[in-house]
Amino acid sequence: MKISREFKTGFIAIVIIALFIWGYNYLKGQNLFDGPIKTYFTEYNNVQGLNTASVVTINGVEVGKVININFSKEEGKQGNLIVEFSVEQDFEFSKNSIAKIYSASLMGGKSLAVVPSYEGEKAHPGDFLNGEIESDIFSSVTEKLNPLQAKVENVIVSADSLMTGLTNILDVKSRQNLKLSIKELGETISNFKTASQSVNKLIENNDEKLSETLDNANLMTQNLSKLSDTLVNANIGLTIKNIESTIANLNSVLSGLEEGDGSLGKLLKDEEMYNNLTNASKELEELLREMKLHPKRFVHFSLFGKKEKGYAPNQVEK
């Protein structure tokens, strides 16, 4: 049987069209030879570089592709992105599962992972799953560096303000004074260094004398220690006890005087005795004065046996 050229041309054209349709759908993530597939939806405000034909995984196993990404037409959600993805495996999960965008490699490729949940109502094709975005290493570093960058910028601004303020404060005269102060500080340090060297030299020259002084101080300390031992061995306690006893007796005597015991106490406390002694003293003083003025009244001398005359108080002495 002879096949015509027109049939061959038509057959080849049909095969090319079929291959084109299959390739186009394959690039979109759909395999026409896998039979019916289940598609689900999720929503993001930023897909982080996710595109059609990105891999969809469950627990690390590839189960489908991202089919389509379109902007939401729902009022109030303009700008959000609706992601349609397929799950070709016969795998069941609930509507509480999460569709998470993550970095498949360090090169920045994005994939979609279904984090399955088995609690709640079963998910059916066409249902919406909650969408999340997993931070990659660069995003995490950027998030941590952003506050640090803000702090560094604030520090730089503060340093700039400080330098500006210092520039305004330190005019030409102030800067000259500051230079002079620094120069004087250098001279002071130099003088201190010279003095330190002089002290070191003095110590080196008088090393023997310092050693003798230290030896004498050590000997003095030993002598003081021996003196302390001698004082300890001496019966200082008994001496102190005797002194305390003497003080106690003296206190007793003073207490007796205070209370009027004994002659001295009566003399101090007995007013009548004091008056008698005072009167006796006055009378003795008058007697002595009388003896001094009229001694003949009290003393008589007779060398020749002259008869003594009696004393007459009113008689005038010749």
Kindly report, residue by residue over 254-300, the tens digit of the pLDDT.
777 677 666 666 666 667 777 777 888 888 888 888 888 877 776 65
Residue 18 host element (H or E): helix 5-27
Question: Hey, what are 61's tokens?
Answer: 């196993």
d(CA 318, CA 313): 14
| Residue 160 counted as domain residue | no
Q: Choose the final residue of a domain: 119, 134, 149.
A: 134
| Residue 46 counted as domain residue | yes
**Is the CB of residue 82 less than 8 Å from the CB of residue 117?**
no
pTM over 0.75, yes/no: no
Please give the residue that has the higher pLDDT: either 2 or 254: 254
Burial class (CB in 10 A: 0-12, 13-18, 19+), 112: buried
| Residue 163 counted as domain residue | no
| Residue 315 counted as domain residue | no
φ, ψ of residue 244 to 5 degrees: the values are -65, -40
What's the domain count of the chain? 2
What number of CA atoms fall less than 13 Å from residue 297's CA on the CB side?
Answer: 14
Q: With 60 as the cut, is the pLDDT of residue 117 above it?
A: yes
Confidence band of 127 (pLDDT split at 50, 70, 90): very high
Q: Choose the final residue of a domain: 101, 134, 167.
A: 134
Contacts of 86 (CB under 8 A, 6+ apart): 29, 30, 37, 38, 39, 40, 56, 64, 65, 67
Q: Which of 27, 18, 84 is nearest to 53 (CA)?
A: 27
d(CA 110, CA 136): 10
- Domain carrying residue 287: 236-297
